[in-house]
Amino acid sequence: MNLAEVIKMESCTIDLKAKDKDEALHQIAALFKRSHGCADISEETIYQELKAREDMGSTGFVNGIAMPHCQIEGLNKFYISLAICHKGVQFDSIDHKKSTVFVSILGPKDQRNEHLQLLAACSHILKQPGVVTSLLQANSRINLYEEFLKNADNGSGKLNYKGKDKLLLLIVQEESILQDITEVFIEYGIQQSIILDGSQMENLISKVPLFMGFFNFTGDKNPGTKVVLAKIVKDHINAIIKGLEDIFGDLDTFSGLKLLVLDIYFAKGF
């Protein structure tokens, strides 16, 4: 199973803040709910199933590692969440120490063998020397995501993450939100982007004598738009959209930003 397709970056965090085990399970359920694939499963259901598994025996191990997991009716794919809690949480671990690294798994009810294989694969990664330390040093969710995958064995040596590139196109109609967009880009590992000046079509048409008076009748000038272009990995699309909607709300109703994701037919030098 390709871990790069199972770990959902939108369900990763380096800032889990929980006072106790129950609160940690609630927050992990909320992280899973951020994934598009879990849209039909309620957050409460995820929490209850995780809690039911914990009631059978703690998934807290040694060296600050915890691996909460469960199988859920109606789920047809596997999902993994990565979370770091720097202060640690008492998670009834084997060595009685606080858990700081959480690798959580949701799986379908009817795929027990695959579930066990995924647990074993994640456990193998976490036991490798230096992995827990590198995860705790991650400075962003994309860094956490990549550090975990870097140590993954996909059955034929180290995993080389291969995602298909896409072109993210943002039409920004409020220049004041560019800083917020930049912060989302940094958080999700977009290091290069291009910003172009643009104009609303009505600004151009209103200058044509035939159409004068039909647009911008108040005499005010509409602010120019900005077009932001960035190359992204296909599997990061949902995470980036979720990151933007965390700030601006549903993009279908927010008027200041429009988003398109396009296939890249050919690219060179980009």
The per-residue pLDDT for range 209-230, each reduced to its tens digit, is: 544 444 444 444 445 689 999 9
CA–CA distance from 226 to each of 62, 100, 169, 197, 253 (Å)?
Answer: 50, 41, 10, 5, 19
Residues 6 or more apart from 13 whose CB is under 8 A from it?
31, 82, 83, 84, 141, 144
Rounded Cα distance, 4 and 87, in Å = 28
Domain ranges in the chain with CATH number 3.40.930.10: 3-150
Picking from 239, 253, 234, the residue whose alpha carbon sits closest to that of residue 184 is 239
CATH architecture of 3-150: 3-Layer(aba) Sandwich (3.40)
pTM of the entire predicted model: 0.76
- φ, ψ (nearest 5 deg) of residue 117: -65, -40
For the chain, what's the residue count? 270
Q: 65-66 and 99-108: which strand pairing?
A: parallel
Mean pLDDT of the chain: 85
Does residue 196 contact residue 226 with C-beta atoms inside 8 Å? yes
The per-residue pLDDT for range 114-160, each reduced to its tens digit, is: 999 999 999 999 999 999 999 999 999 989 998 999 887 543 334 44
Q: Six-digit token pair at 105? A: 């798994």
Q: Six-digit token pair at 108? A: 């379908």
Report the pLDDT averaged over residues 66-81.
94
Domain ranges in the chain with CATH number 3.30.70.120: 165-263
As assigned by CATH, the class of the 165-263 domain is: alpha beta
- Which of 1-5, 25-29, 65-69, 192-196 shows the lowest mean pLDDT across its residues? 1-5
